[in-house]
Chains A and B, each alone.
Chain A
Amino acid sequence: GAGVSQSPSNKVTEKGKDVELRCDPISGHTALYWYRQSLGQGLEFLIYFQGNSAPDKSGLPSDRFSAERTGGSVSTLTIQRTQQEDSAVYLCASSLDSTGNSPLHFGNGTRLTVT
């Protein structure tokens, strides 16, 4: 139960294919976040979960993006019909709660390359 675990660490896919990115948060952390980071850029918020519910999914770029969380633990971010502009590092983070007062603990990310 060290830190946040993300898999795969790298994913290369062809344009138009679907991909699933997995995040295993720190045990006991009820909040889980997904961010996207393009090369040399900042952190773009995608969605966050409190338990299995997603109070704010305003950052999902399009309806090709979806995420779920089950058992208050593992989360999966799914990108359908991938496009080249989806290429980025997808970072997952967890925190004790979603009050906005708890620090985020990030995983190492999944580097997605769409060819």
Chain B
Amino acid sequence: GQQVMQIPQYQHVQEGEDFTTYCNSSTTLSNIQWYKQRPGGHPVFLIQLVKSGEVKKQKRLTFQFGEAKKNSSLHITATQTTDVGTYFCAGPGAGGTSYGKLTFGQGTILTVHP
């Protein structure tokens, strides 16, 4: 079945440093979604990428979708303590009855030291 791999599993940075997490799917995706889960909270939708090579920005966050639509990345510039949490990518199934199934990567746990 479809697999979504995410690296690194953990990332510790000093406040002000940059951070990047990478997501790779075993299948071509129609879209990729990114979520953030704060400690003790539930995942919250951040953004969706649909087009091949698409780049979207949200303030200090930059999201990219690969040309082959099988990989994606999230880059945070100049991290702040408010960025702490787990970042997940997620992609839909390849087709049939699994199309609506959203598979999540294992997540990257970001710790920011002040």
Contacts from A to B (Cβ < 8 Å): 31, 33, 35, 40-43, 45, 48, 50, 55-56, 58, 91, 93, 97-101, 103-109
Contact = CB atoms under 8 A, between A and B. Distances in A.
Contact of A101 (B88, B92, B98): B92
A43 B48 contact: no
B92 A100 contact: yes
A56 B93 contact: yes
Contacts of B42: 91, 106-109
B83 to A, nearest CB: 18
12 contacts: A33-B102, A42-B88, A45-B103, A48-B101, A55-B97, A58-B1, A98-B100, A99-B100, A100-B93, A103-B45, A106-B43, A108-B42
Contact of A99 (B1, B88, B97, B99): B99
Given A45-B101, A56-B97, 5 more contacts: A42-B105, A56-B98, A104-B43, A106-B42, A108-B42
B68 interface: no
Contacts of B88: 42-43
Interface in B67-114: 88, 90-93, 97-107, 109
Interface of B: 1, 30-31, 33, 35, 41-45, 48, 50, 88, 90-93, 97-107, 109
A58 B98 contact: yes
A42 B108 CA distance: 9
Nearest to A50: B100
The 6 residue pairs across chains A and B that have the minimum distance between CB atoms: A100-B92, A98-B100, A55-B97, A103-B45, A42-B106, A43-B104
A55 B100 CA distance: 8
A42 B104 contact: yes
Contact of A100 (B35, B100, B106): B100
Contacts of B33: 103-104
B100 A104 contact: no
Given A42-B105, A43-B104, A45-B103, A103 B97 contact: no
